[in-house]
Amino acid sequence: MEPEWSTRIRWTDLPEHVRVGIEQILGSPVVESMGQQGGFSPGTADRVRTAAGLRAFVKAVNPALNEASPAIHRKEAAITAALPCTLPAASLIGKFDDGDWIALVLSDVEGNHPHIPWRTNELTLVLDALLGLARMPIPQGLEHLPELSQELSDEFGGWARIRADLPESCDPWILGNLDCLELLAELGLSDLGGDSLVHTDVRADNVLITRDNGAILVDWPWACVGSGWFDALTVLVNVRVFDPIFDVESVLQSHPVFATADASSVDGLLSGLGAYFIDIARRPAPLGLPTVRVFQQQQGDAAMGWLRQRISAHSQTSSIDNPFNEDNEDNEGE
């Protein structure tokens, strides 16, 4: 499965004064630009080269393209500026902001997004980078970041909204197990605490694999403080979006980033993620982001398909009664 990304404007579509402002940050005129695919923002995402030979990555947007995107870019600029060079992230060179257009000028990372479907070696590189991130102290200047549990409190409550307003089409297994799923999501929310820097939006298009076998995380507006293995679990959900039969359980059991993750916590986070994605996927698509709802539904399906398999496995290996209803055996929840 190949994702359907949003259509972006290009460097040449930016107003002249915005391009001039960016070139002033770079210290030389841009002579080459290459638009990048990926993500759901309608704004620019261009690798550029200046007459002086400097390479950079430029992303720019204004409210006419999407009302929420400028504020997101401003948050990203503030967070990225505080990230130390020891983190696996691109550095902020500067920003242009005229109150309408906001542009971030970032260091250009020589690398490519992970292959889709995911490959085991690239997945390991990403999880290794997230393990390093989880072990680092919160950078100075980012102590004010919100707690992950607070940021996801409403999102993990999605099952209650689904119960109150049932989707037109929904996996019958989900509808038959809303009580259990809601309880699991509540437990999962309580497991989001921690003292690690959390990216919160790690997926294939927000990662670059470098030539020296490193993994760089890009797009940091949603950074929080919380569980050191949350990002890693969301990566495995992303893996299942593109390859539902990938053996994510063996990764979960073997990679040290999951050393403190117990089975009930994993189940709780998967239920909470499913609640968020399935609930939000039924909303109208935001302006300029026509494909994001489809992708959110795919992520919800991946999280719930994996959770159902885990619950089935638990019931086969435990003498404790399984509270989940498995009557709908013809629907695997994928």
Q: Is the pLDDT of residue 330 over 80?
A: no
Instruction: Supply 302's token pair.
Output: 């991946």
Residue 327 lies in a domain: no
What pLDDT does residue 325 have? 78
Average pLDDT across the chain, whole number: 93
pLDDT > 70: percent of the chain: 95
What is the CATH number for 187?
3.90.1200.10
What is the CATH number for 54?
3.30.200.20
What pLDDT does residue 212 have? 94
Structural domain that includes position 205: 112-317
At which of 108, 127, 149 does a domain end? 108
Residues 98 and 117 in one domain: no
Return the minimum-mean-pLDDT range out of 210-214, 247-251, 322-326, 329-333: 329-333
What pLDDT does residue 321 have? 61
Residue 237 lies in a domain: yes
Residues 165 and 287 in one domain: yes
At which of 108, 137, 153 does a domain end? 108
Residue 159 lies in a domain: yes
Q: Is the pLDDT of residue 332 over 50?
A: no
Q: Is the pLDDT of residue 334 over 50?
A: no
Outline where the chain has alpha helix (H).
16-26, 69-82, 120-135, 148-151, 158-164, 172-175, 178-190, 230-242, 248-254, 263-280, 292-317
Q: What is the pLDDT of residues 284-322, one digit of tens each?
A: 999 888 899 999 999 999 999 999 999 999 877 765 567
What pLDDT does residue 320 have? 56
What pLDDT does residue 315 have? 78
Residues 188 and 201 in one domain: yes
At which of 108, 137, 169 does a domain end? 108
Is residue 327 very low, low, confident or very high in pLDDT (cuts 50, 70, 90)? low
Q: What is the pLDDT of residues 269-278, one digit of tens each?
A: 999 999 999 9
Q: What is the pLDDT of residues 74-125, one digit of tens each?
A: 999 999 999 999 999 999 999 999 999 999 999 999 999 999 999 999 999 9
DSSP, res 114: P
- Give how many domains the chain has, as a whole number: 2
Contact at 8 Å (CB) between 305 and 332? yes
Residues 66 and 134 in one domain: no
Residues 96 and 147 in one domain: no
What pLDDT does residue 2 have? 61
**316 vs 127 pLDDT, higher one:** 127
Residues 89 and 151 in one domain: no
In angstroms, rounded to a whole number, what is the distance separating the alpha carbons of residues 66 and 288?
Answer: 6
Residues 180 and 69 in one domain: no
Residue 332 lies in a domain: no
Residue 328 lies in a domain: no
Residue 5 lies in a domain: no
Residues 152 and 49 in one domain: no
What pLDDT does residue 323 have? 81
In angstroms, rounded to a whole number, what is the distance separating the alpha carbons of residues 255 and 31?
Answer: 44
Residues 6+ positions from 260 with CB-CB distance below 8 Å: 228, 229
SS3 category, 140: coil
Residues 262 and 133 in one domain: yes
Residue 244 lies in a domain: yes
Q: What is the pLDDT of residues 153-180, one digit of tens each?
A: 999 999 999 999 998 888 999 999 999 9
Residue 326 lies in a domain: no
Is residue 331 very low, low, confident or very high in pLDDT (cuts 50, 70, 90)? very low
What pLDDT does residue 316 have? 76
What pLDDT does residue 167 have? 84
Residues 271 and 140 in one domain: yes
CA angle, 101 as apex, 99 and 102 as ends, to 5°? 90
Residues 202 and 313 in one domain: yes
Residues 300 and 151 in one domain: yes
What pLDDT does residue 1 have? 63
